[in-house]
Structure 1
């Protein structure tokens, strides 16, 4: 795979990972929670997924380039904001669409 394919695959992975916490009622996809998860659990799972995707990105960069490029704090803030934007479909599904479907 060339670099362009890795980039597209990584963006797709980040999009899926950002939405996974909102699509499951299980705590970290393992333990069912009686009465559903609280918003804090969704946010914690989402943040853990951000760090997992970041570590995968660092591993891919290291394997393709042989080293990690130094990044400033700005890079990580922008990456966090992009991850938040990627999570919007899952968030809307969980808190807007599902309640509407359950009422009808």
Structure 2
């Protein structure tokens, strides 16, 4: 897999993973909860998926060559990008009126 394909794969997975907590009512898509998930659980799950996608991105970067060192700025930007990717799921869950 070349570098361009790896980047687009990570972006597509990040878009999908950022919306998973808001689309599914199961915890991590596996565990059925007795009570519905509240916003705090969904945000904790969002952080979990951020680290899963980041780990996959780190793995793909390692396969392509040497890993570039990242500072706090990298994590601040990728975190805000992940939150931005989660916006459609948040709108679907909390701002749309469901019948």
Give the TM interval when normalised to the shorter protein: over 0.9
- In structure 2, C-alpha distance between the alignment counterparts of 1:5 and 1:55, rounded to whole Å: 17
Aligned equivalent of 1:93:
92
Find the counterpart in structure 2 of residue 52 from structure 1: 52
RMSD: 1.1
TM-score, normalised via structure 2 length:
0.93
In terms of fraction of residues, the more helix-rich structure is: 1
Shift of 1:47: 0.2
How many residues align? The count is 99
* 1:75 Cα offset (Å): 0.5
Unaligned 5+ runs, structure 2: none
TM-score, length-scaled by structure 1 = 0.89
Deviating above 3 A after TM superposition, structure 1's stretches of 4 or more consecutive aligned residues are none
